[in-house]
């Protein structure tokens, strides 16, 4: 065991990678040893993705080498890295929705019997064995379509195990999982670790990292700035290494004057997703919807906004009932939704910054009946300035911006409609720590100007730091409503996991 | 302390885990049964519709059951069904092949021309030439789609035009007539093998072969995988190490080759061939596949279902003739059937999706 | 918006965040435009055409050549909008035929033309409404839906008129359709097309409706999340497509003074070819009406030139159209790949200073569609 532990299964030695003038990776080294769970930490753009791409054979370094069992190799494709025992679990599982769980696992390596036919019983049995070993209850014959993200990740892990992966790279695997699902995933990771696999674990959630990882590599600006046991690195020190400076006062809460009720939701339900949601948001107030991912919070706000059809209940803005399932009517009534998935829902990536920023109010971009590019530019640059958007030209595709700046474009798009209510779903997901604070400041400023804000967030500090009121959602129902004074970590977590406030203590 | 919301670690599933697991297993298996039934309902439904049409037509006009009438129907279907098998492979990979009608026209003429000019040549050589030319056309389609990264709709729309143009150039206004063709060849078109019309034997063999290949061979399953992952960008197929480009090209080659075979069958069956042979066949073939449950978005549908779809459309055609319903209605009914088929598919899919969602919601609350 | 690089390429280029794009010079911009390429091709075709026959560049030739292309051109306009939203309508030629058949039937029934024409347009709009409802209401793929309605509407055309044809339309209508505008060589029908084209161009490029068409084509979900009426927009476009196809049917019927159920077979393909050749992405999200008009001129010019040469089989038209259609997407793809390959070779070197090629172990081939 100890002899094996000294030679890393897979390592990266002094790898550099540049794209044109941008150095994504500068002389990065990293070793993955058997039985280790290594956390890879760093802000967005620190070079983590590039490093993962190189380890998985998607990309190749300009200089430096990949080592497998101490021998230098070149991964020309994902097949090469897979053959070397490297498997990757992405945040969004990449499976074949029409095929069964079993076929998804064995695809590309079907067991054969006579005449080269697929050996279905053997296929089913081997996959059932894998799932049993992972301790999960999944039917191998079931189509993947309709499985939860968490179950799909289990299928991915089973796939990795099926070709005896020794190195498992998990790129933000928990981003879309609920607490229980994270626990199950961690159970699987520990089992793999015990069997001598090396795991590279990437997550933005510090708590998870401290729970699962043993060693840590911290990256900043394409360089490895720290490598060592996690136990020797306290949390604030870790954050400082990631950011390169002290991060304090992340949530500069300013007291706003709370006004009249702007949004009034009563008995809103969507069959099979969420039930009987009542909530009010007043002018100047920030209300947070807390809870586990998958509890139905995004679904609730999407139904309020009308992009999803609610089956029951009512939504009213400023005392006027809105038709359900009509986003256009919601926008007209002064509602705005900054969605969770920026690339798919928030922005039209092929369009320019300016066109995206004005997309929600095309009607007002007219002069004499026709779209006026001049007015669009003026409007977009005005909001760009207000939000301190960093961009080259307004006519550049919005995809050229960083995540944080993209989020600002989405904000600009909606703030320019002069909304009375801003719904913002995971306001800082995938945004680096520096810009995060800026987004928080913007939201606070807006609230103090009298905007009603309904925020969905999975980050407890964000919820506790920003909200005037916290509604906790569990399994599609609101299980607690806490004032700013009442809200603390324990109460929110209890409600979010469906436990009664004080009773039912588990010894 | 930065603490994302997550369940505090601790003992979960406090009460009777075994009982829960058992109930869960039961629920899962009923869920599977329902889904299975919905999927199988598709092919079954087609057969029911088919039998209903046959029954009703036969009841009104008993000579529908004449052996000749049935033979006529099945012979008409044979060529379409063979091409539908190839089309299914292509559509399953999330592509489409609009050029099959033109390939049929070109190969039917070349096959007939070859036999006219070399009457001594064994007919099988001419058939193989037709298949080879069809395969070459398919290869062109496949390469343009995979290597050229041109959408299949655009590629095969282009080759549909171009190959029809080539067919016109090659025929140069000529027409092949039955009397120019060797009897041995024409016998294939009208003759029987063990009492069954030869063309039908050919069609059945082709359909069973490809049904079998797409069901029981890794090669076939990979086609489904490629189409299924194509809806989300093809990443899954890439990560599974599938040679997507090669598979898609192969599907096009087979579609082309079977269109070539269809061309040879066309020449043998009708004897009269000019450059317009097979005009509009691409839509009949795609229509048959769609009616047979092949999803135009790729990843699902079977060769067998598609073949039943072809039989269904062919039967309706004959039924209309037998019932002396104005021939003009035929096309309209085919169109209507295509729409009804995809609409039904969508409704069934919505139903089963809602079912799965409810089930997983229930599983969550009960777990 | 419609440079060669962003128009019909099949795959999104892998963008590297943070890379500053170099400023394109105006000249480069103009030369890089898809429309410029089509213009060059038009010039080539017209040069060859006048070489083939002295009749090619005459007013007479322009009149017949353009009026022969009227229906394709008119069908291409709403099709451009539909394809820009990422959908397709294969049923347009069948709607055209249905309109023609209906016109003949109603005329036989003794209705006046003043009543027949609006009825036909409304019938076409209803056909479009059916397509649109199936696509937006039921959420079915437009390709499958319109393959079905293509057969359905064509079938209904035969049901209405059978295999007969109606030819005795009033001469004041047919004369207009035959005639030229004022004393010019431009046919009346082409003037009508140009008016429609101008309206379509303004709608697509200068109105909120047009912008939402592009937004829907580029990202339907983001469009919905921006409060745009996605379904209603698409429904409107299908209805529009049906109505305009019916109008094309009327024009074709009057121009030939023949109404029949079998007219316009295959017209949808030429119209789609023109749209794609005109630089509209088949996946939606980009394209211009101007490009489509140029593509129509190019295709019309080729057809006329080939028709004028007695030695060239007219079937070459099919072959040339097919090759152009594929080439219009293949060419830019290959060009983009060539540029990518060159960039890969120069990778590691700073821009503006090529230096020695980096000793990178074999660059990535193809489209690395990877977002890890």
- Checking if the pLDDT of C356 tops 50, the result is no
Contact predicate C161/C101, CB 8 Å: yes
Domain closes at, from A195, A224, A243: A243
Interface of B with C in 278-307 (CB under 8 A): 283, 286-287, 290, 296-297
Cβ <8 Å between C226 and A360: yes
Cβ <8 Å between C227 and A53: no
Q: How far is C148 from chain B (nearest CA, A)?
A: 4
Smallest Cβ–Cβ distance between A143 and the set B21, B35, B365 belongs to B35
Q: What is the pLDDT of residue A367?
A: 81
Smallest Cβ–Cβ distance between C215 and the set A53, A351, A400 belongs to A351
Q: Is residue A364 part of a domain?
A: yes
Residue B178: how many CB atoms within 10 A of its CB? Answer: 15
Question: What is the band of C331 on the pLDDT scale with cuts at 50, 70, 90?
Answer: confident
Say which residue, A91 or B314, is predicted with more confidence. B314
| CA distances to A206, A229, A235, C78 from A232, in Å | 15, 6, 10, 66
Q: How far is C198 from chain B (nearest CA, A)?
A: 27
Q: What is the pLDDT of residue C199?
A: 96
Residue where the block lists tokens 């229930």: B362
CA atoms within 13 A on the CB side of A96: 32
Q: What is the pLDDT of residue B24?
A: 47
Which chains pack against C, by 3+ Cβ pairs within 8 A?
A, B
- C294 CB-near residues (< 8 Å, 6+ apart): C35, C38, C39, C42, C278
Does residue A239 sit in the same domain as residue A161? yes
DSSP string, B200-215: HHHHHHHHHHHHHHHH
Residue where the block lists tokens 């302390």: B1
Q: What is the pLDDT of residue A134?
A: 77
Interface of C with A in 309-348 (CB under 8 A): 347-348
Q: What is the pLDDT of residue A501?
A: 55
Mean pLDDT across chain C, nearest whole number? 83
Q: What is the pLDDT of residue C234?
A: 96
**Chain B residue with minimal CA distance to A187?**
B9
Q: Which residues of B touch C150 (CB under 8 A)?
A: 283, 335
**Chain C residue with minimal CA distance to A89?**
C372
Tokens of A154: 């289990």
Which is it for strands A274-282 and A261-270: parallel, antiparallel or unpaired? antiparallel
Q: What is the pLDDT of residue A273?
A: 83
Q: Is residue A405 part of a domain?
A: yes
Q: Which residues of A touch B229 (CB under 8 A)?
A: 94-96
| Residue (of B332, B326, B294) closest to B46 by Cα position | B294
| Residue (of B252, B9, B47) closest to B137 by Cα position | B252
Smallest Cβ–Cβ distance between C152 and the set B96, B165, B332 belongs to B332
Element at A154 (helix H, strand E): helix A149-162
Contact predicate B278/B101, CB 8 Å: yes
Contact predicate C253/C263, CB 8 Å: yes
Does residue A93 sit in the same domain as residue A159? yes
Question: pLDDT tens for residues C275-286?
Answer: 999 999 888 998
**Chain A residue with minimal CA distance to B11?**
A506
Name all domains of chain C by residue range, CATH numbers in brackets.
55-336 (1.10.3470)
Question: What is the band of C146 on the pLDDT scale with cuts at 50, 70, 90?
Answer: very high
Whether residue C183 lies within 8 A of chain A, CB to CB, comes out as no
Q: Which residues of C touch A366 (CB under 8 A)?
A: 207-208
**For residues A329 and A227, what is the distance between their CA atoms, to the nearest angstrom?**
53
Cβ <8 Å between C228 and A76: no
Cβ <8 Å between B5 and A141: no
Which chains pack against B, by 3+ Cβ pairs within 8 A?
A, C
Does residue A435 sit in the same domain as residue A384? no
Q: Is the dihedral of CA B182, B187, B188, B190 positive or negative?
A: positive
Q: Where are the domains of chain B?
A: 34-356
Q: How many pairs of residues across A and C have Cβ atoms under 8 Å apart?
A: 128
Domain closes at, from A418, A448, A468: A418
Interface of A with B in 12-71 (CB under 8 A): none
- Checking if the pLDDT of B186 tops 90, the result is no
**For residues C191 and C181, what is the distance between their CA atoms, to the nearest angstrom?**
7
Cβ <8 Å between A45 and C17: yes
Q: Which residues of C touch B155 (CB under 8 A)?
A: 326
| Residue (of A188, A192, A131, A202) closest to A166 by Cα position | A192
Which residues in A289-304 are b (16+ Cβ under 10 Å) and which e? Answer: bbbbbbbbbbbbbbbb
Mutate to test the interface with B, among A52, A96, A426 (most CBs of B within 10 A): A96
| CA distances to A52, A433, C16 from A47, in Å | 9, 15, 12
Low-confidence ranges of chain A (pLDDT < 70): 1-5, 20-22, 44-45, 175-176, 178, 244-252, 293, 433, 499-507
Does residue A204 sit in the same domain as residue A320? no
Q: How far is B134 from chain A (nearest CA, A)?
A: 27
Mutate to test the interface with B, among A41, A77, A107 (most CBs of B within 10 A): A107
- Checking if the pLDDT of C12 tops 60, the result is no
Mutate to test the interface with B, among C322, C328, C335 (most CBs of B within 10 A): C322
| CA distances to A470, A473, A487 from A466, in Å | 10, 17, 11
Q: How far is B277 from chain C (nearest CA, A)?
A: 15
Lowest mean pLDDT among C220-224, C229-233, C324-328: C324-328
Smallest Cβ–Cβ distance between C159 and the set B144, B286, B329 belongs to B329
Whether residue C285 lies within 8 A of chain A, CB to CB, comes out as yes
Q: Which of A36-45, A354-363, B58-67, B205-214 is most confident?
A: B205-214
**For residues C256 and C244, what is the distance between their CA atoms, to the nearest angstrom?**
18
Q: For chain B, give the percent of residues with pLDDT over 90.
A: 39
| Residue (of C201, A357, C302, A429) closest to B4 by Cα position | A429
Question: What is the band of B278 on the pLDDT scale with cuts at 50, 70, 90?
Answer: confident
Domain closes at, from A393, A418, A443: A418
pTM of the predicted structure, to 2 decimals: 0.83
**For residues C48 and C65, what is the distance between their CA atoms, to the nearest angstrom?**
16
Q: Is residue A46 part of a domain?
A: yes
Does residue A436 sit in the same domain as residue A394? no
Cβ <8 Å between B144 and C326: yes
Smallest Cβ–Cβ distance between A108 and the set B9, B231, B240 belongs to B240
DSSP string, B317-342: HHHHHHTT--TTHHHHHHHHHHHHHH
Question: What is the band of B40 on the pLDDT scale with cuts at 50, 70, 90?
Answer: low
Mean pLDDT along residues C330-357 = 63
Question: pLDDT tens for residues C21-37?
Answer: 444 566 666 666 888 88
Q: How far is C101 from chain A (nearest CA, A)?
A: 39
Cβ <8 Å between B217 and A290: no
Q: Is residue A340 part of a domain?
A: no
Lowest mean pLDDT among A255-259, B348-352, C215-219: B348-352
Q: What is the pLDDT of residue A257?
A: 83
Does residue A308 sit in the same domain as residue A427? yes
Lowest mean pLDDT among A410-414, B45-49, B200-204, B310-314: B45-49
Question: pLDDT tens for residues B76-110?
Answer: 899 999 999 999 999 999 999 999 999 999 999 99
Domain count, chain A: 3
Q: Which residues of C touch A56 (CB under 8 A)?
A: 372
Q: Is residue A341 part of a domain?
A: no
Question: What is the band of B34 on the pLDDT scale with cuts at 50, 70, 90?
Answer: low
Lowest mean pLDDT among A188-202, C80-94, C113-127, C332-346: C332-346
Does residue A182 sit in the same domain as residue A56? yes
Mean pLDDT along residues C199-208 = 94
Classified as helix, coil or strand, C326 is helix
Could you tell me how far CA C245 lies from the centroid of its own chain?
13
Q: What is the pLDDT of residue B363?
A: 53
Cβ <8 Å between A369 and C207: yes
Residue A43 sits in a domain of what CATH number? Answer: 3.40.50.300
Does residue A60 sit in the same domain as residue A131? yes
Does residue A68 sit in the same domain as residue A166? yes
Classified as helix, coil or strand, A379 is helix
Cβ <8 Å between A178 and B7: yes
- Checking if the pLDDT of C15 tops 60, the result is no
Number of residues in chain A = 507
Does residue A151 sit in the same domain as residue A63? yes
Does residue A400 sit in the same domain as residue A361? yes
Cβ <8 Å between A62 and C360: yes
Question: What is the band of B50 on the pLDDT scale with cuts at 50, 70, 90?
Answer: confident
Does residue A27 sit in the same domain as residue A145? yes
Domain interval for residue A264: 247-334+419-507
Tokens of A51: 């490093």
């Amino acid at each position: 065991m100890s002899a094996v532990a000294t030679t890393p299964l897979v390592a990266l030695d002094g790898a550099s990678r540049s794209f044109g003038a941008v150095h994504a990776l500068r002389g990065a080294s990293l070793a993955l040893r058997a039985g280790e769970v290594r956390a890879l930490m760093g802000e967005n753009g620190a070079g983590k993705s590039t490093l993962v791409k190189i380890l998985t054979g998607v990309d190749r370094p300009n200089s430096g080498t990949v080592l497998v069992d101490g021998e230098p190799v070149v991964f020309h494709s994902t097949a090469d890295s897979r053959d070397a025992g490297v498997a990757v679990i992405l945040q969004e599982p990449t499976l074949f929705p029409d095929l069964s769980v079993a076929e998804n696992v064995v695809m590309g390596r079907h067991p054969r019997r006579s005449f080269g036919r697929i050996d279905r019983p053997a296929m089913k049995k081997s996959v059932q064995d894998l799932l049993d070993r992972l301790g999960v209850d999944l039917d191998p014959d079931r189509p993947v379509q309709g499985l939860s993200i968490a179950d799909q990740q289990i299928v991915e892990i089973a796939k990795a195990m099926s070709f005896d992966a020794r190195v498992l790279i998990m790129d933000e695997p928990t981003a879309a999982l609920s607490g229980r699902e994270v626990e199950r995933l961690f159970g699987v990771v520990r089992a793999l670790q015990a069997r001598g696999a090396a795991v590279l674990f990437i997550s933005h959630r510090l708590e998870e990292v401290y729970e699962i990882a043993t060693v840590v590599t911290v990256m900043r600006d394409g360089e490895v700035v720290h490598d060592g046991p996690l136990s020797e690195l306290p949390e604030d020190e870790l954050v400082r290494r990631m950011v390169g400076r002290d991060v304090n006062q992340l949530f500069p809460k300013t007291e706003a004057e709370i006004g009249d009720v702007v949004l009034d939701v009563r008995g809103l339900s969507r069959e099979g997703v969420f039930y009987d949601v009542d909530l009010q948001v007043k002018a100047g107030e920030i209300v947070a919807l807390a809870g586990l991912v998958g509890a139905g919070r995004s679904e609730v706000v999407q139904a309020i906004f009308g992009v999803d059809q609610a089956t029951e209940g009512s939504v009213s803005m400023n005392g006027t009932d809105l038709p359900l399932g009509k986003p256009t009517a919601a926008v007209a009534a002064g509602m705005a939704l900054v969605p969770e998935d920026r690339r798919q829902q928030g922005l039209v990536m092929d369009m320019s910054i300016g066109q995206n920023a004005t997309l929600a109010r095309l009607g007002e971009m007219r002069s004499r009946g026709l779209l006026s590019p001049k007015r669009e530019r003026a409007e977009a640059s005005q909001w760009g300035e207000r939000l301190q958007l960093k961009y080259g030209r307004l006519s550049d595709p919005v995809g050229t911006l960083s995540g944080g700046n993209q989020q600002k474009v989405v904000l600009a798009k909606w703030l320019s409609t002069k909304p009375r209510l801003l719904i913002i779903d995971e306001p800082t997901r995938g945004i680096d720590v520096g810009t995060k604070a800026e987004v928080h400041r913007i939201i606070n400023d807006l609230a103090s100007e009298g905007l009603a804000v309904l925020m969905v967030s999975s980050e407890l500090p964000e919820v506790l730091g920003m909200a005037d009121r916290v509604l906790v959602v569990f399994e599609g129902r609101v299980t607690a409503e806490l004032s700013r004074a009442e809200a603390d970590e324990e109460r929110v977590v209890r409600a979010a996991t469906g436990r009664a406030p004080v009773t039912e203590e588990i010894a | 302390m930065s603490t994302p919301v997550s369940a505090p670690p601790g003992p979960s599933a406090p009460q009777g885990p075994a009982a829960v697991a058992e109930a869960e297993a039961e629920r899962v298996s009923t869920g599977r049964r329902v889904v299975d039934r919905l999927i199988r309902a598709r092919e079954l439904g087609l057969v029911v519709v088919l039998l209903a049409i046959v029954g009703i037509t036969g009841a009104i006009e008993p000579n529908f059951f004449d052996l000749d009438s049935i033979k006529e129907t099945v012979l008409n279907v044979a060529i379409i069904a063979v091409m539908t098998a190839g089309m299914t492979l292509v559509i399953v990979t999330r592509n489409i092949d609009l050029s099959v009608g033109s390939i049929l026209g070109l190969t039917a003429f070349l096959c007939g021309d070859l036999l006219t000019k070399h009457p001594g040549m064994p007919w099988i050589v001419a058939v193989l030439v037709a298949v080879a030319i069809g395969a070459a056309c398919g290869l062109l389609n496949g390469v343009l789609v995979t290597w050229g990264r041109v959408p299949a709709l655009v590629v095969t729309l282009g080759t549909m035009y171009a190959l029809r143009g080539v067919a016109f150039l090659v025929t140069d206004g000529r027409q092949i007539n039955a009397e120019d063709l060797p009897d041995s060849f024409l016998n294939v078109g009208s003759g029987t093998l063990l009492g069954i019309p030869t063309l039908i034997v050919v069609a059945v063999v082709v359909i069973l072969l490809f049904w079998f290949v797409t069901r029981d061979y890794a090669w076939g399953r990979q086609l489904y995988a490629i189409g299924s992952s194509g809806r989300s960008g093809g990443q899954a197929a890439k990560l599974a190490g599938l040679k997507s480009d090669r598979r898609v090209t192969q599907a096009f080659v087979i579609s082309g080759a079977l269109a070539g075979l269809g061309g040879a069958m066309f020449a043998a069956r009708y004897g009269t061939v000019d450059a317009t042979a097979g005009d509009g066949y691409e839509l009949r073939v795609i229509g048959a596949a769609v009616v047979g449950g092949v999803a135009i978005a790729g990843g699902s549908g079977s060769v067998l279902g598609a073949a039943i779809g072809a039989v269904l459309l062919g039967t309706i055609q004959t039924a209309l003739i037998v019932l002396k319903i104005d021939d003009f209605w035929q096309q309209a009914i085919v169109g209507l059937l295509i729409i009804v088929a995809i609409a039904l598919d969508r409704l069934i899919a919505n139903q089963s999706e809602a079912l799965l969602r409810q089930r997983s919601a229930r599983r969550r609350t009960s777990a | 918006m419609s440079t060669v690089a962003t128009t019909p390429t099949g795959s999104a280029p892998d963008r590297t965040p943070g890379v500053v794009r170099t400023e394109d010079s105006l000249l480069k911009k103009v030369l890089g435009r898809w429309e410029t390429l089509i213009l060059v091709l038009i010039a080539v075709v017209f040069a060859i055409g006048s070489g083939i026959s002295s009749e090619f560049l005459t007013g007479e030739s322009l009149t017949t050549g353009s009026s022969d292309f009227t229906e394709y051109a008119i069908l291409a306009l709403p099709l451009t909008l539909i394809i820009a939203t990422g959908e397709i309508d294969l049923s347009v030629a069948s709607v055209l035929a249905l309109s023609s058949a209906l016109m003949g039937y109603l005329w036989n029934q003794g209705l006046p033309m003043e009543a027949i024409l609006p009825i036909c347009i409304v019938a076409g709009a209803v056909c479009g409404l059916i397509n649109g409802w199936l696509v937006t209401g039921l959420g079915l793929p437009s390709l499958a839906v319109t393959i079905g309605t293509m057969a359905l509407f064509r079938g209904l055309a035969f049901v209405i008129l059978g295999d007969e044809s109606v030819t005795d339309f009033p001469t004041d209508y047919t004369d207009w359709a035959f005639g030229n505008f004022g004393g010019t060589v431009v046919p009346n029908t082409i003037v009508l097309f140009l008016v429609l084209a101008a309206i379509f161009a303004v709608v697509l490029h200068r109105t909120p409706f047009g912008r939402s068409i592009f937004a829907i084509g580029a990202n339907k979900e983001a469009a919905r999340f921006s409060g745009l009426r996605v379904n209603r927009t698409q429904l409107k476009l299908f209805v529009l497509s049906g109505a305009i196809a019916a109008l094309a049917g009327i024009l074709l019927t009057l121009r030939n003074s023949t109404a029949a159920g079998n007219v316009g077979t295959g017209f949808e393909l030429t119209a789609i070819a023109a749209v794609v050749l005109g630089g509209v992405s088949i996946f939606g999200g980009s394209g211009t009406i101007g490009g489509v008009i140029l593509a129509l001129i190019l295709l019309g010019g080729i057809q006329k030139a080939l028709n004028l040469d007695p030695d060239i089989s007219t079937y070459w038209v099919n072959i040339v159209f097919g090759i152009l259609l594929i080439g219009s997407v293949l060419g830019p793809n290959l060009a983009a790949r060539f540029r990518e390959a060159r960039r890969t070779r120069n990778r590691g070197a700073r821009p503006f200073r090529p230096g020695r090629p980096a000793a990178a172990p074999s660059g990535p081939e193809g489209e690395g569609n990877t977002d890890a």
